[in-house]
Structure 1
Amino acid sequence: MTTTLERLIQRTADAADDDLAPGARADARRTLTAALEAHVRDDHEAEAALLAPLARRISDSWPHTSALGRDVLGYVQAVRR
């Protein structure tokens, strides 16, 4: 079974349609991978702590039309609940 985080990680490799700089995608991939590792350990505080700065970077610097950015932000909001 593929988790939402795993799908988001895969999309960082496939996000050619998002007009993102390669560095932004690589940063997101690293952060999402670390968050997945925390999630697997059931360390939800660490997962949220890793995702919060990524959410700020997405909000501040990614194109507002980015489907990947929108989906990552949606996941981060779900984790916060």
Structure 2
Amino acid sequence: MFNKVVDKPYVTFVGVPGSGKSVTVRHIALKLQEEGYDILPIKDISDIENHCNPDIPQVFVIDDVVGVLGLDMSEFNKLFSRAYDKIYE
């Protein structure tokens, strides 16, 4: 699983409650931290834009990003695009 996610700009883990999503993400985050990544647990997708630092490797971990109301993919894509532009400007 680690090798499948390490080269991706973002990854979403989806599954039923209790299927191991959070444990898997935390395990991958710990391995990345050992490799020098800064791990940032955040509560809201908009925090990515506020804490993004293109000078250091970072991983943002958002547990239960969908929440009760669901994820607005168009908003997520706009936010990700702005963060991506900030990293590569």
Does the pair score TM above 0.5?
Answer: no
Interval of TM-score (by shorter of Structure 1 and Structure 2): 0.3 to 0.5
Larger helix fraction of residues: 1
- Greater relative CO (CA pairs within 8 A, separation 6+): 1
Larger strand fraction of residues: 2
Structure 1 length-normalised TM: 0.34
